Chains A and B, each alone.
Chain A
Amino acid sequence: MTEPVDAAAGPPEEEPPAGFAVRLGVAQRAGGVAVPILTAVVAFAMGGIVVLATGHNPWTAYKGIFAGAGLNWFVHVPWNTSTVNLDAYNLSQTLLLTTTLILTGLAVAFSFRCGMFNIGGQGQYIVGLVTANWVGVSFAGWPTLPHVLLGIAAATLAGGIWAGVAGFLKATTGAHEVISTIMLNWIAIWGGSYLFGQGGPLQNAQDPSSPVSGAVAQSARLPVFWGSSLLQGLDVGFFVALAMLVVFWLLLNRTTLGYEVRAVGFNPDAAAYGGINVKRSYFMAMAISGMFAGLAGALDMLGYLFQYGTLDVQASQIGFLGIAVALLGRNTAVGTGIAAFLFGGLLYGTTRGLNPNVFDPGLAGNLTSMIQGLVVLFVGADIVILYLWNARRKLRLRQQEAPA
């Protein structure tokens, strides 16, 4: 901000005065570090109060979750890469979930940057899972590299098409993307249940009695780099997800498409006035957003799931968790990465990773949903806090200008 005094002294030579959008961006980034941290802290604290009120010790509970997430690896045995070690194993599992959450988070974040709310990450993820499973099972006997690439490409494309339907409808008929993505979620869930279910086309031919898909062929499985492939070790999909954080940033900040998407997100009317094809941006943003979620499905299916059942399709919630990840990460690449690690740890640390003697996993698993809900709730309010902050500053500015 240039002070009125500076302006009176003469125009600054080196720094041109920043535009409003830039200043808002700076303010968001500045508030954007403190507010999400505060949000997470308050959500965890309120979760702790519920734990305390129901007669458990929140300190032990959170310590148990911390250990369950494998974060003790950084404390006790740093850099011990042996997976015989429980901390290392738990951490590898946390990172496995982080991989998925980064991508489902990016899916939500990308559409948000275009001013749309993609609630359909879950559906796009399932479409990705199903497609990757189909490719992984079908083309057995192919060499590894083309098989894996085909599986990933097909699933990514399928996710993009699934979300693209919502983007297309918004662009052409104005159908609200929230409603259409919710509907597409459930169509994907029941469609997946049908495909993997008894008598379904993708059901395991070797075992017709159980509603589970066939297993992905060895040639389509992603290589494991940490831990044993027999014990669900961490596969190279993790690096793909990290790379996607960079791709997300580049796409948004260094391409024409990203510029247009952000411009539409700021103000569609102004963008249209500036000659940007708003409808095309809606469609592209939604399709790319779905591609991130579809890729998440591909990496999970080819990385460690291999087989998936009807019940798994119906119970999966990880796409919805992407909403909390993106909102807490403020729809930025770095934020999404950090938030994905937080929720990945929370998710694993409250379920399989948690020692049942320390804290009841039945309670802890629901604690995750509660914290997820509180985070989303408070993020919803922090937009307001930011708004009030800016309004107050503007008011003070006006008061300063008035006497002069």
Chain B
Amino acid sequence: MTNLAARLEDPRRALTPNGIAITGIVLGVLAFWSAIPPFDARTLVFPVLIGVLAMAAGVWGISRGRRRVGWGAVVSGLIGLSLGILATHSSTSNLHTVFAADLVASTLVFATPLTFAAIGGMVSERSGVVNVGLEGMMLMGAFWGVYGADKTGSWAAGLVIAVFSGGIFAGLHAFWAIHLRADQIVSGMAINFLALGVTGYFFEQLYGQQNIPSGVSTVPNVKIPLLSHWTYVGPAIGDLNLLVWIAILLVPLSYVALFKTAFGLRVRACGEHPRAADTVGINVYTVRYMAVITSGMLAALGGAYLSIGFGGGSFTEDMTEGRGFIALAAMIFGNWRPFGAFGAAVLFGFSTALAFRLPAYSSSAAILFQALPYVLTLVAVAGLIGRTIPPAADGRPYRKQ
């Protein structure tokens, strides 16, 4: 964080190739933004001008060796430009239904479960254990969270039970991955199937044909008086669920924990070179267990948000519907970094939020739009835009000598 502050204070540092390229990415977003509410530019001038500027910034960045962000800026400028042109041709009323102020709020709403699970997955993979079981751990959190809230009458107890259930499944995965040295992808997939079966079975057993009773205690919204008085977006984001704010806070928190503390260094050491970590006296097994279990707990919080946060106290079989896999994608797209993962989660949340509104234009295109996060991630792992680099020992079991 101090880095960023220093960069902002010193104008020369903002003019580094990296800074220019990042400005290009922002400009690309602005190119599109200029054509939609609240600005509503109805001429082609603004989107084209800003979009070209964004691409120029990107090209400059690439020529100075910042390939990843540079290409990001070019792509962002190109997309911003074309979407902006499309928007100037569309009717104002349609634009206002899709890009209402609460789009910001619903982006955050969709990004929240992804953020929890993606940060969780990052913690686990940074310690060297691949976690494709995020989906199952989320599902556990979703069901046991609503069950706990229903039986105890308190959402806080529900969250605790959710976190506990996710931790148990993560512990199972950790035992298989660390002690039994099983294939981590196999055991992660097993966790997914098992969670699908366990939650579905107990949902049917405990609630039968009737659904979860209405009036289950749910996680409250937090009204922030200062924010809610902002113009335009204020009313939409001034009144968000507590878990949304926790998810946002989790991002800098996980950054500090992973990159600025001794414990974080140990976790990363276990993920990069466990033998070296062991040599200097770090207990690789303990660190990995803690990281994997933390990851399951966070994923479960994301799941609980679906059932007793945003879901308002409900559950359906397979409620997570692949969100654990989008979170995995967000983590990879964000290059195993907290802010990167959060950025990707927001981007994917935005695309989901948009997909729910696009039917104003075309319902079939809206469905296709849901595939966007996966296409982007596929492009990212293919190395077309820069390169995603997993921790060196990710997925490799460690044996003590």
Query: Which A residues are within 8 Å of any B CB, using their own CB?
Result: 50, 54, 117, 119, 169, 173-176, 178-180, 182-187, 189-191, 193-194, 197-200, 310, 314, 320, 323-324, 327, 360, 362-363, 365-374, 376-377, 379-381, 383-384
Smallest beta-carbon distance B379→chain A, Å: 9
Smallest beta-carbon distance A101→chain B, Å: 14
What residue in chain B is nearest A173 (Cβ atoms)? B383
Known: A175-B383, A369-B193, A380-B180. A187 touches B204 (CB 8 A): no
**Contact of B364 with A182 in the complex, beta carbons under 8 Å:** no
B382 at interface, CB cutoff 8 A: yes
Question: A residues within 8 A CB of B363?
Answer: 197-199
Question: A residues within 8 A CB of B365?
Answer: 194
What residue in chain A is nearest B387 (Cβ atoms)? A173
B196 at interface, CB cutoff 8 A: yes
**Contact of A383 with B182 in the complex, beta carbons under 8 Å:** yes
CA gap between A106 and B317 in the complex, in Å: 29
B187, B204, B374: the one contacting A183 at CB < 8 Å is B374
- Most A CB atoms within 10 A — which of B328, B362, B382? B382
**Contact of A376 with B201 in the complex, beta carbons under 8 Å:** no
A-B contacts besides A178-B132, A366-B204, A369-B196, 11 pairs, CB < 8 Å: A119-B185, A174-B383, A186-B322, A190-B371, A199-B362, A199-B363, A373-B193, A377-B172, A380-B187, A383-B183, A384-B180
B180, B186, B332: the one contacting A327 at CB < 8 Å is B186
CA gap between A314 and B321 in the complex, in Å: 9
Question: B residues within 8 A CB of A197?
Answer: 363-364, 367
**Contact of B332 with A179 in the complex, beta carbons under 8 Å:** yes
Known: A180-B381, A374-B194. A186 touches B187 (CB 8 A): no
**Contact of B201 with A323 in the complex, beta carbons under 8 Å:** no
Smallest beta-carbon distance A214→chain B, Å: 15
CA gap between A198 and B366 in the complex, in Å: 11
Main secondary structure of the interface of A (DSSP, over half): helix
CA gap between A221 and B319 in the complex, in Å: 35
Fill in one digit per residue for B184-222: 1 if any A CB lies within 8 Å of its CB, else 0: 011101111111111011101100010000000000000
Question: A residues within 8 A CB of B201?
Answer: 50, 54, 363, 366-367, 370
Instruction: Give the interface size bracket for B toward A.
Output: 35 or more
**Contact of B193 with A366 in the complex, beta carbons under 8 Å:** no
CA gap between A197 and B132 in the complex, in Å: 29
**Contact of B374 with A376 in the complex, beta carbons under 8 Å:** no
**Contact of B382 with A117 in the complex, beta carbons under 8 Å:** no
Question: B residues within 8 A CB of A175?
Answer: 381-383
Question: B residues within 8 A CB of A381?
Answer: 176, 180, 182
B192, B325, B364, B378: the one contacting A194 at CB < 8 Å is B364
B182, B370, B378, B381: the one contacting A380 at CB < 8 Å is B182
Question: A residues within 8 A CB of B200?
Answer: 365-366, 369
**Contact of A372 with B193 in the complex, beta carbons under 8 Å:** yes
What residue in chain B is nearest A314 (Cβ atoms)? B321
Known: A173-B382, A199-B364. A368 touches B197 (CB 8 A): yes
CA gap between A377 and B174 in the complex, in Å: 12
- Most A CB atoms within 10 A — which of B182, B204, B363, B374? B374
Ranked nearest first, the 7 interchain pairs of A and B with the lowest CB-CB distance are A373-B194, A370-B197, A369-B197, A373-B193, A366-B200, A199-B364, A190-B371
**Contact of A377 with B132 in the complex, beta carbons under 8 Å:** no
**Contact of A380 with B176 in the complex, beta carbons under 8 Å:** yes
Question: A residues within 8 A CB of B197?
Answer: 366-373
Question: A residues within 8 A CB of B390?
Answer: 176
What residue in chain A is nearest B192 (Cβ atoms)? A373
Name the interface residues of B260-287: CB closer than 8 Å to any CB of A: none
**Contact of A187 with B374 in the complex, beta carbons under 8 Å:** yes
CA gap between A374 and B197 in the complex, in Å: 10
Question: B residues within 8 A CB of A368?
Answer: 197
CA gap between A174 and B61 in the complex, in Å: 26
**Contact of A377 with B190 in the complex, beta carbons under 8 Å:** yes
Smallest beta-carbon distance A169→chain B, Å: 5
CA gap between A250 and B11 in the complex, in Å: 68
Question: A residues within 8 A CB of B151?
Answer: none
Smallest beta-carbon distance A111→chain B, Å: 12
CA gap between A264 and B392 in the complex, in Å: 22
Fill in one digit per residue for B306-340: 1 if any A CB lies within 8 Å of its CB, else 0: 00000000000100011001101100100000000
What residue in chain A is nearest B390 (Cβ atoms)? A176
**Contact of B377 with A370 in the complex, beta carbons under 8 Å:** no
